[in-house]
Amino acid sequence: DLGPLSEAGERIMGVAQPYLGAPYRLGGDTASGIDCSGLTKAVYARFGCDLPRQSRLQAGLGTPVAATELAPGDLLFFATNRDVGISHVGIYLGSGRMLHSSPRRGGVGVDRLPGTDYERWFVAARRLARPGGFDAALGTTETPGRRK
């Protein structure tokens, strides 16, 4: 049990509900199989944000966020192989947890960051501009990024 989430984290989980437990599938973008960037693209699309399909391209959007300033909805980027660069993305839920799809966990779910390999692999976080629905749902302010 990961404990309770903030209201904003719960709202993200509500939007992601159709994908929870979906198996990991490289290049997948449906509840029958989805990868990390497919999941972030799908969740953000529900709020009217159009993200590129690849995590390394998603990492170029929005504004940088320090690890100490993370807020629910921020995109987290990881380099699981430093020679390759950014190779994984998740959505921060608050309280040190993220929603992501990973072959390591077998699909879509929530994992803690502190004390895990993901903490070690973390390279960047970005905050995207969020249409009114996203801001209203999460209680956040808008910052520069890309809109649909």
Query: Would residue 49 show up in a list of annotated catalytic residues for this protein?
Result: no
88 is catalytic: yes
Selected catalytic residue, list 41, 97, 100, 130: 100
Annotated active-site residue 36? The verdict is: yes
Residues 6+ apart with CB under 8 A from 9: 72, 93, 94, 95, 97
* Residue in 11, 41, 88, 130 annotated catalytic: 88
The catalytically annotated residue of 34, 36, 65, 76 is 36
Just list the catalytic residues. Answer: 36, 88, 100
